[in-house]
Amino acid sequence: MDYLKIKNSASLEGTINISGAKNASLPLIAMCILAKNSVHMKNLPQVVDIKTLLKLLSNLGATCEFSQDSVIVNTFDLHETKATYDIVKTMRASILVLGPILARFGHCEVSLPGGCAIGQRPIDLHLKALEQMGAKIAIKAGYIEARTPNGLHGCEIIFDKVTVTGTANIVMAAALAKGATTITNAAREPEVVQLCEVLNASGVKINGIGTAILKIHGTDGQLLNINEFSIIPDRIEAGTYLCAGAITKSQLTLTNVEPKHLGAVLSKLEEMGSTFTLTDTTITIHPAAHIKPVKIVTQEYPAFPTDMQAQFLALATQADGVSIIEERLFENRFMHVSELQRMGADITLNGHIATVSGKSNLCGTDVMATDLRASSALVLAALVATGETHVHRIYHLDRGYDSLEKKLYQVGANIQRLKE
C-alpha span between 20 and 35 (Å, rounded): 22
DSSP code string of 252-266:
EEEES--GGGGHHHH
Nearest CA-CA partner of 329 in 294, 305, 345, 346: 305
Distances (CA, A) of 311 to 4, 245, 308, 316, 317: 17, 12, 5, 9, 10
**Looking at 32, 108, 116, 196, which residue is catalytic?**
116
> Cβ distance 105 to 75 under 8 Å?
no
Strand partners, 353: 326, 350
In the annotation, is 116 catalytic? yes
Concatenated DSSP letters of 374-397: HHHHHHHHHHHSBSEEEEE-THHH
Q: Are 113 and 393 in contact (CB under 8 A)?
A: no
Main-chain dihedrals φ then ψ at residue 153, nearest 5 degrees? -130, 150
Residue 224 β-bridge partners: 35
In whole angstroms, give the CA distance from residue 373 to residue 353: 17
Q: What is the DSSP letter of 316?
A: H
DSSP output for 13-79: -EEEEPPBPHHHHHHHHHHGGGBSS-EEEES----HHHHHHHHHHHHTT-EEEEETTEEEEE-TT--
Residue 334, C-beta contacts closer than 8 angstroms, at least 6 positions apart: 327, 349, 352, 354
Per the DSSP assignment, residues forming a β-bridge with 41 are: 71, 229
Measured CA to CA, the distance from residue 30 to residue 101 in angstroms comes to 9
Paired with 82 in beta bridges are 109
Q: Are 330 and 301 in contact (CB under 8 A)?
A: no
Q: Looking at the annotation, which residues are catalytic?
A: 116
